[in-house]
Chain A
Amino acid sequence: MTTQVDTLEPLPLPEGPPERRLPPRQWVRENLFGSAFDSVLTVVFGLFLAWAAYRVGKFVFVDADWEIIERNLTTLMVGGFPRDELWRVWAALFVLAASLGFGAGAIGVQRRREVEEGRAEPAPKGLAARRLAPVVILVSVLLWFSGSLENLVLVLAIAGVGVIFNVVGRRTPRRLERYVPLLVLAGILIAFLVIVAFGGIKWNAWGGFMLTIFLAVGGILMSFPIGVLLALGRRSSLPAVRIVCTAYIELIRGVPLVAIIFMAVFMLGFVFPEGVERPDNVVRVLVAFVVFTSAYVAEIVRGGLQSVPAAQVEAAQALGLSPYRTTRRIVLPQALRSVIPGLVGQFISLYKDTSLVFIVGMAELLTVAENITKQPDFIAQGLIVETLLFASFIYWTGSYWMSRESQRLERRLGLGER
C-alpha cells in the first residue's frame, strides 16, 4: 500500500506533438503552392494584400497630414479638461501605474508558486515583452505625436513607478494576498478622486480618451455587483424574484444601447421629484451604461453559476451551511473564477461601446476626433480619415491587448478543461 504515496507526486505534464520544422523551400511548397488551386489563391491574395499594404502604407507615411493630430493631441486625450489642472490627470496616471503594477506583481508571485509546485508550465521566454508590446506601441505613438520631452520624462517616471510597485507586489506576504484585489480597486478609486476631489473638477469637464476610460471602467465596476445580484435573483427559488430579474435582463438585452442612452438623456430628468437637481449628461450616460451592462454581466455570471456542479451545493447543505453561506462561501467563489474571461470580454465591448455617446454629442474620443476636423485651421480639408484612423488605432490597441490577455487568462485558469 505504500506505493500509493508515490502517485501523489505531480505527474509530468503531457508533451504535445513535436514541432515540425521544414526547410524554407518545402515550407513554401506545402503552405503556399500545395495544388494548382492553392497557387492561384496565393497569387491572387498576395497581389491584393501587397496592393492594400502599399495603399495603407503610402497614406499613413506619405499622404496623410498628421498636423491636426499633433496640434489637438491634448484635446483628444482629455477633451475640454481645464489645461491648468492637467497635473491631476498625470497624478492619477501615477496612482494607476502604482496600483496596477502592484497587482501584476502580486499575481506574478502566485503564478511563480504554481510553477514551482508543478501546477503550471513556466512562461515561455519573452512573454512579458510580447504582452506589453501593444501598450508600449500605443504610448510611443502618442509620445511621437506630442513631440514634447516633458511628456517623455513623465511617461518614463510613470513606468518607473509601475516597475517599483511591481517589485513591491512580488514581496506581498502570502497571508495578505487575498487583499490584493481590494488594494487595486482602492488605487483606481484614489486615481478617480485625484481628478475630481479637492477643488472639484466638474462632470462636464471630462472629455476625450479620459472620458472613454472613465465610462468603461466606471461602467464595469458598477455593473458587476448589480449583475451578480441579478444573476443570483434569476436563479432564485422565489418565483417573484426570479420573474422580476429575468424580465429586467431580457428587456435590456432586447433593446439597443442607443435606445437606453436616449432613455437616460431624454427621460432621466423626469423621474426625479420636483426640486431635485438634474444630473449632468456624463452621469446620465454612465447610468445608461450600468443599466445596459449589468444585464449582460448577469448572463455571464449566470453561466458561471451553472458551471458549479450541483454536488458542491449538496455537500455544503450536508455540512449544514445556511443558504447564504453556501452561496457566499461555496458557489460564488467557484463561479466568479470561471467568469473572469467573460467579464473581460464584456469590458472590451463596453470600451468600444463608449463611442456611442457620440450620438448625444458628448466629447469622448470619437466625438473629439470628428469635431476637430471642423476647426477653422482644418475645416473642409477632408482630414476625417486621419482623425478616424487615429481614433481607430487607440480603440484597436486597447481592445486587441485586452482580448489577448483574456485568452491567456482563459488558458491559465484551465477553463473548458475541467
Chain B
Amino acid sequence: MLRIALQAVFVVAVGGLLLYLVDNVVSNMERLGIPTGFDYLKQPAGFAIPDSDFSSAQSLGDALIVGVQNTLKVSLLGIVLATILGAAVGVARLSTNWLVRRAAALYVETFRNIPVLVIILFWYLGVVLRLPPISEAFEISGLTVVSNRGLVIPWFDQVGGGLAFAFFVLFGLGAAGTVWYWRTRRFDRTGQPHHRLLWAGGLLVVIVTIGFFATGSPWAVETPELGERSTTGGFRLSPEYAALLIGLTIYTASHIAEIVRGAILAVPRGQTEAANAVGLSGFQRLRLVVLPQAFRIAVPPVANQYLNLMKNSSLGIAISYYELTKITRVSIAQQAPAVQAVLLLMAIYLAISLAIALVTNLVNRRLSLKGQR
C-alpha cells in the first residue's frame, strides 16, 4: 500500500512538473504569437543547401530530410573508416616492433586528449581551406584534383545499358553464395581446408568480368577534368564534408584503437599458448583463436563509439556542413519555431541512435557465447 502511494506521489510530482513546464511553454509561445504545431514544416525553406539539389522553394520538412541524409552520409563512412584505422592502430600498439608500438601510442595519446571539435576545426580552417584556390588547383597523377573547393576523385560513370549487366552481377552473387555454402558443408564433413573466400570471391570476379565484356563495358571510370574555374566529372567531396569526415575518423579511431588493444589483451594467455601447442602458425593463431574472441569482447564498447561518432557529426554545424543540426539552426534563423525544431532534432537523433543500437545489439547477440545470458 505504501509502495503504491509512494509511486503515485512520484508520478504526480513528475507529471505535474512536466505539465507546468509545457503549459508555460505553450502560453509563452501564444503570447509571443509563435505557432505551436508542426505545420511550419510545410513552409518554404527560404535557404539553399550547398552540394544538393535542394532549392529554397522546397519545404522545411524536405530540408530536414536532406539533413538526415547528410548526417548518415558522414556517419556511416566515418564508422567504416574509423573501424579500419582504429583496428590497425590498436593492433600496432601490440606490435613486437618498438618503433611501431610507440608511434601507435603517440597517435592514441595525442588525439584522445584533444576535443573532437578542435580537431575538426583544425582540419577545416587549418588544412582544407588553405589548399590552393581552384585556379591553382593541383592534380595528383591526373586522377584527383585538390583545391580549397574540395577533393575530386575518379568515379564510375554508367555509359551503356545496365540491365543485362545487373543480371550478371546478381547471377554471380547467387553462384558465389552457393559455392560458399558447398565449401562450408564439405569442410564440416571432411575437415579439409575450405578456402571458401577464395572460391566464392574468385567465381564472382570471373562471372562479373565475363558479364562486363559480354554486355559491352557498361561502366567506365571517369576522371575529373580540371577546367578554368571548375572541374567536370568525377565525384566531389566538399571541403566541409572532407574536414568533418577526417576529424571524426581520426578522433574516433583513437578510441577504437584502445578498445581493440584492450580486447586483444583480454584474451587469456592460455589460448595463445594452446594455439602454439597445436602447431598453428602466427597468422592462423591470430585469425582462428585470438581475434574471434577479442572481437566478441570489443563489440559492445565499439558500438558505443559508433553512436558517439554519429552524435559528434552534429559538430558539422561549426564548419557549416549541412547536416541535421546545421539545418535546424538555419531553420530557426528562418523563423521556424525554436521549440518544435529542437524537439524534432532530438527525436530524429534518438531514432538514428536506436537504429544503430538495434543493429549492433543483433551482432552482439549473434556473437555472444551461448549459455551466457
Interface residues, chain A, with chain B CB atoms under 8 Å away: 31-32, 34, 38, 41-42, 45-46, 48-49, 237-241, 244, 251, 253-260, 262-263, 266-267, 269-274, 348, 352-353, 355-356, 358-359, 366, 370, 382, 384-385, 388, 391-392, 395-396, 399-400, 403
For residue B6, which residues in chain A have a CB less than 8 angstroms away from its CB?
A: 238
Known contacts A263-B346, A359-B318, A388-B126: A240-B7 contact under CB 8 Å: yes
A385 and B122 within 8 A (CB):
yes
Interface flag for B179 (CB, 8 Å): no
Chain A residues lying within 8 Å of B99, measured Cβ to Cβ, are 32, 41-42, 45-46, 49
> What's the dominant secondary structure at chain A's contact region?
helix
Task: Tell me which of A41, A256, A269, A385 has the highest count of chain B C-beta atoms within 10 A of its own C-beta.
Answer: A256
**Given the complex of chains A and B, what is the CA–CA distance between A356 and B311 in angstroms?**
13
State in angstroms the CA–CA spacing of A263 and B353 once bound together: 18
B235 at the interface (CB under 8 A from A): no
Taking a contact as CB atoms closer than 8 A, the residue among B97, B114, B117 that contacts A34 in the complex is B97
* Inter-chain contacts of B354 with A (CB < 8 A): 254
In the assembly, what is the distance between CA of A270 and CA of B339, in Å?
A: 8
Contacts of B29 in A (CB 8 A): 270
Complex: chain A residue closest to B354, CB-CB: A254
What CA separation (Å) do A399 and B108 show in the bound complex? Answer: 13
Contact between B350 and A251, CB atoms less than 8 A apart: yes
CB-based contact B342/A263 at 8 Å? yes
By the criterion CB–CB under 8 Å, are A31 and B25 in contact? no
Task: Determine whether the beta carbon of B10 is less than 8 Å from that of A358.
Answer: no
Q: Determine the distance from Cα of A392 to Cα of B110 in the docked complex, in whole angstroms.
A: 10
Q: List 25 A-B contacts (CB under 8 A).
A: A32-B98, A38-B96, A41-B100, A42-B100, A45-B103, A49-B103, A241-B10, A251-B350, A254-B349, A255-B311, A255-B353, A258-B317, A262-B325, A262-B345, A263-B346, A266-B341, A267-B338, A270-B29, A274-B27, A359-B318, A366-B117, A384-B121, A392-B118, A395-B118, A396-B114
Contact residues of B between 312 and 330, Cβ < 8 Å to A = 312, 314-315, 317-318, 325, 328-329
Residues in A neighbouring B339, C-beta threshold 8 A: 266-267, 270
Interface bits B119-145 vs A (CB < 8 Å: 1, else 0): 001100110001000000000000000
Docked pose: A255 CA to B3 CA in angstroms? 33
B120: min CB distance to chain A, Å: 10
Most chain B beta carbons < 10 A, residue from A270, A271, A274, A356: A270
A307 vs B3: C-alpha distance in the bound complex, in angstroms?
26
From A356, which residue of chain B is reached at the shortest CB distance? B117
Q: Return chain A residues, CB-CB under 8 Å to B100.
A: 41-42, 45
> Which residue of A41, A238, A257 contacts B7 across the interface (Cβ within 8 Å)?
A238
Instruction: Give min CB distance, A405 to chain B, whole Å.
Output: 13
Q: B96 and A395: CB pair below 8 A?
A: no
Does B24 count as interface, using CB distance less than 8 angstroms? yes
Return B126 CB to nearest CB of chain A, in Å.
Answer: 5
Which B280-315 residues sit within 8 Å CB-CB of chain A?
307, 311-312, 314-315
Give the A-binding residues of B (Cβ under 8 A): 3, 6-8, 10-11, 14, 21, 24-25, 27-29, 31, 95-100, 103, 109-110, 112-118, 121-122, 125-126, 130, 307, 311-312, 314-315, 317-318, 325, 328-329, 332, 338-339, 341-342, 345-346, 349-350, 353-354
Instruction: Chain B residues near A366: list those with CB within 8 A.
Output: 115, 117-118, 121
Q: Which residues of B contact A266 (CB under 8 A)?
A: 332, 338-339, 341-342
Task: Kindly count the residue-residue contacts between A and B in the assembled complex, taking CB atoms under 8 Å apart.
Answer: 155
| Chain A nearest CB, measured from B105 CB (Å) | 12
In angstroms, Cα B116 to Cα A396, docked, is 12
Chain A: CB-nearest residue to B339: A267
Q: Which of B25, B125, B345 contacts A271 (CB under 8 A)?
A: B25
Residues of B within 8 A of A353 (CB): 115
Partner of B118 from A41, A239, A388 at Cβ < 8 Å = A388
Residue numbers in B under 8 Å from A46 (CB-CB): 99
Q: Whose C-beta in chain B lies nearest to the C-beta of A38?
A: B97
Residue numbers in B under 8 Å from A32 (CB-CB):
97-99
Contact of B312 among A238, A240, A256, A370 (CB under 8 A): A256
Q: CA of A162 to CA of B307 in the docked complex: distance in angstroms?
A: 42
**Residues from chain A with Cβ under 8 Å of B116 in the complex:** 352
Task: Name the CB-closest residue of A to B111.
Answer: A396
- Complex Cα spacing A381 to B130, Å: 11
Q: How far is the CA of A263 from the CA of B343 in the complex (A)?
A: 8
Is A388 a contact of B122 with CB atoms below 8 Å?
A: yes
Closest-by-CB residue of A relative to B119 is A392
Known: A255-B349, A258-B314, A270-B29. A31 touches B97 (CB 8 A): yes
Contact partner of B114 (CB less than 8 A), chosen from A254, A272, A399, is A399
Chain A residue contacts of B328, Cβ below 8 A: 262
Complex Cα–Cα for A353 and B98 (A): 33
The answer to whether A262 and B103 touch across the interface, beta carbons within 8 angstroms, is: no
Residue from A238, A255, A270, A355 within 8 A of B28 (CB atoms) = A270
Name the residue in B27, B29, B115, B312 with the highest tally of chain A Cβ atoms < 10 Å from its Cβ.
B115
Interface pair B115/A241, CB less than 8 Å apart: no
Bound: A266/B328 CA distance, A: 11
Q: Considering the chains assembled together, what is the distance between the CA atoms of A349 and B109 in angstroms?
A: 14
Contact assessment for A396 and B28 in the assembled complex, using a CB-CB cutoff below 8 Å: no
B117 touches A400 (CB 8 A): no
Chain A's nearest CB lies how many Å from the CB of B15? 9
The docked-state distance in angstroms from the alpha carbon of A78 to that of B354 is 40
Q: How far is the CB of B310 from chain A (nearest CB, A)?
A: 8
Residue of B nearest to A396 (CB): B113
How far, in angstroms, from A38 to B96 measured CA to CA in the complex?
9
Report whether B98 and A31 are in contact in the complex, using a CB–CB cutoff of 8 Å. yes
Of all chain A residues, the one with the shortest Cβ separation from B21 is: A271
A395 partner, pick from B113, B121, B307, B312, beta carbons under 8 A: B113
Min C-beta distance of A300 to chain B, whole Å: 13
